[in-house]
Every structure is written in C-alpha cells, then in structure tokens.
Amino acid sequence: MNLRKVSAVSAAVVALALTATACGSGESEDSGKGGGKTIKVGIKFDQPGIGQKTPQGTFSGFDVDVATYVAKELGYSEKQIDFKETPSADRENALSRGDVEFIAASYSITEEREAKVDFAGPYLLAHQDVLIRADDKIGKAEDLNGKVLCSVAGSTSAQNVKEKFAKGAELKEYGGYSECLEGLQTGAVDALTTDDSILAGYAAQEQYKGKFKLAGLSLSNENYGVGVKKGSDLKDKINKALEKMVEDGSWDKAVEANFGPADYKNDPAPKIGDVVK
C-alpha cells in the first residue's frame, strides 16, 4: 500500500519535471524568432548617423532605426533588442557563430559576401563620395588632382579614388574618420572619402553642422542589405518588414532624422531584391 503511494508521488514529480522542461525548451526556441525574450542584432557602434552608441548607453543612426523597425515587425519590443557591436571584418563570422540574428551595419551586398551569408533588402543605395569644406568646390572627381585626400588606415576608398579617378591626388593617412574631419577643418587635408551615407552622418554632427558638404560625385554603388545566416527563414520576413517601412513613411522619416542636417541627397528607397551594380 505504501509502495503504491510512493510510486504515485514519484510519477507526479516526473510529470511535473517533464512539463517544466517542455516549457523551458519552448522559451529557448522562441528567443530568436519573435515573441521571445530578446533578439540579438548586429550594428556599428562608431558611425554617427549610421550606428552609434552614445556615452549614455543609447543607440542612434539610420541602421539603428531600420533594425529597430524590423525587430518590432518580427515581434520584439524595443526593450527586447540586444544590440551587439559588429565590426566590418567580423560580420560574416558573427552570423555563422550565431552571435546575432541579423546585421544592419552599412553592410554592402557583394557577390563575395553573398557566398557566405544571405541578404534581405537592399534598404539603402549609397555611393562613394567625398566630403569637402562648405566653401570649396569639387564638381568632378578629376578636380581632386593636386588635392590632399584623407585616407583612413585600413580603408581602400581613398586609394580607389587615386587609382581610378585622380592619379594626381595626394593621400594622407589618419587613424580614423574623426581625425580626417579635424584635418579637413584645419586645412591639413582637402577631402575625405567613403560612402556618402557615412560622410553625411559625420557632417550632421552638431559640432560640424554647416562646415562641410558632400561633393555629390557618386563614385560607386553601395547597396546596404540586412545580413542573415545562410539559409535563414528571417530573410523573407525582414524583406516584408522593409517594404512596410517604406510604405508607411518610416523610411523617409529615418533618412531625414539622421542625414537631413548634412543636406544628404539620398536616392529613393530601393526595391527589394533590386541590387544596383
């Protein structure tokens, strides 16, 4: 009789344990697919206007606005988004390791990258351009001949200009974009080059407003996409979110909020799947 009671109690305990395990497993599976606890999203932390972490610990920039909108469409509130810094050199690895669910970090779609990850979008068509002082005139790339062009260590943008458009340009290498901006302000350099969206973000900073302008040269096409792990079903869901962002006007508002102060002449929102070569 006592043995039967003990067995019944044991069975109940096992049933409860199995139920708890099943519930815990469900929460874990949901954590990366909307409605779960958090979603990990890769962004840049050091690009004003694109993706930046402020001293107060908040995040701002066009890519941040895109990522936030997409995450909400996937079922996550703003508080459930866990932004992770993903430097350019580590973006593919971050996705393959599962460190992040998706990446919005001035991530240009290229054939080489598409072999490693999938892309939703594009959600922005940027172009390589040059940033100059507000009172200077650079109407075409050839005008950079004889000018001092700022080259950031590790970047190929300035070298591309010198090799393809202005062989007579002088390259001066600095450690980062902020140093280039200081050099541009003091006259140590005449121009800074990278994607126009990134340049616009820097020029829109409070301390630089009205001091610099983009030349509008459009030296290349850079199709920014949202990177996801190869084969992920998030690609189609993110594409739908991006389409909705454009349709309801949120895309235009994000462009104006992040690039407007630099008088950035952006292209219209690209059509999903339409990668401009």
Together in a domain, 172 and 202:
yes
Together in a domain, 47 and 156:
no
Residue 172 lies in a domain: yes
Together in a domain, 159 and 202:
yes
Residue 6 lies in a domain: no
Instruction: Assign residue 46 the CATH number of its domain.
Output: 3.40.190.10
- The pTM of the full predicted model, rounded to 2 decimals, is 0.81
Tokens, residue 168: 């007579």
pLDDT at position 154 is 65
From first to last of its 277 residues, what are the pLDDT tens digits of the chain? 444 444 444 444 434 343 443 333 333 334 445 555 999 999 999 899 999 999 999 999 999 999 999 999 999 999 999 999 999 889 999 999 999 999 999 999 999 999 999 999 999 999 999 999 999 999 999 999 999 999 887 677 898 899 999 999 999 989 888 899 999 999 999 999 999 999 999 988 888 988 999 999 999 999 999 999 999 999 999 999 999 999 999 999 999 999 887 878 899 999 999 999 9
pLDDT at position 36 is 56
Terminal CA-to-CA distance of the chain, rounded, Å?
81
Together in a domain, 135 and 119:
no
Count Cα neighbours of 207 within 13 Å in the Cβ-side half-sphere: 6
Number of domains in the chain: 2
- Closest by CA position to 170, among listed 161, 178, 179: 161
pLDDT at position 232 is 97
Q: How far lies 273's CA from each of 63, 105, 242, 276, in Å?
A: 18, 18, 11, 9
214, 235, 251 - which closes a domain: 214
Together in a domain, 204 and 174:
yes
Together in a domain, 85 and 191:
no
Residue 29 lies in a domain: no
Together in a domain, 69 and 201:
no
Exposure b/e, 53-91, CB count within 10 A at least 16 = b: beeeeebbbbbbbbbbbbbbbbebeeebbebeebeeeeb
Q: How far lies 132's CA from each of 14, 93, 125, 149, in Å?
A: 71, 35, 21, 10
- Closest by CA position to 215, among listed 133, 131, 159: 131
CB 136 within 8 A of CB 249: no
Residue 196's domain spans which residues? 128-214
Together in a domain, 110 and 227:
yes
Together in a domain, 138 and 254:
no
157, 180, 214 - which closes a domain: 214
Residue 121 lies in a domain: yes
Residue 31 lies in a domain: no
Residue 10 lies in a domain: no
